[in-house]
Amino acid sequence: MRAPLHRDLSALVDWFETLTPESLGRMGDYYAANAWFKDPFNEVTGLEVIRRVFAHMFETLRAPRFTVTDRVADEGGAVLFWEFRFGAGRREFLVRGASHLRCNARGKVLYHRDYWDTAEELYAKVPLLGALMRLLRRRLAAR
């Protein structure tokens, strides 16, 4: 990150924490046109494609919302630690993770990489899949 993201970090955090399908239209205020985004399920480049990833989140999950719990920033980048809450089916989920951000010279996000453990944070909480994962974990630990 060549631009001082920490100067605009509070505005970006506020945008993430109040994200709605309508506010996705303001993504260009924070992201560069050629931004790159990666999470455990997606790896895409381009503002419009990233916007579609977030739009899909609103289409498939009930009441998704991020809460930034901590942040670390300097002239080289920023890391946001967050909790992501959403509903799916009759269950409510909590996923904890972090986003590594870098900006271009204009201060817009150029690089956004999310880190979170899909096995621990998501798959283990799905009833049948979770039982299978616990069984595998016990068997592997016994070796």
Strands 31-38 and 109-115: parallel
- Where does residue 101 rank: exposed (0-12), middle (13-18), buried (19+ CB within 10 A)? buried
Pair of tokens at residue 120: 């621990």
For the chain, how far is it from start to end, CA to CA, in angstroms?
A: 44
For residue 18, give the DSSP letter: T
Q: pLDDT category, 1, cuts 50, 70, 90? A: very low
In this predicted structure, what is the pLDDT of residue 6?
52
Average confidence (pLDDT) over 3-19: 83
Minimal CA–CA distance to 101: which of 19, 18, 32? 32
User: Do residues 34 and 110 lie in contact, with contact meaning Cβ atoms separated by under 8 Å?
Assistant: yes
In the chain, pLDDT over 70 holds for what percent of residues? 76
| Least confident span in 27-36, 41-50, 88-97 | 88-97
**Measured distance CA(20)–CA(5) in Å, rounded:** 23
Average confidence (pLDDT) over 14-42: 96
Phi then psi dihedrals of residue 79, to 5 deg: -125, 125
pLDDT digits (tens, 9 = 90+) for 39-64: 988 999 999 999 999 999 999 999 99
Please tell me the pTM assigned to this model.
0.80
Q: pLDDT category, 88, cuts 50, 70, 90? A: confident
User: Do residues 107 and 118 lie in contact, with contact meaning Cβ atoms separated by under 8 Å?
Assistant: no
In this predicted structure, what is the pLDDT of residue 77?
85
In this predicted structure, what is the pLDDT of residue 121?
54
Q: Is 129 left (phi over 0), alpha (psi -120 to 50) or beta?
A: alpha
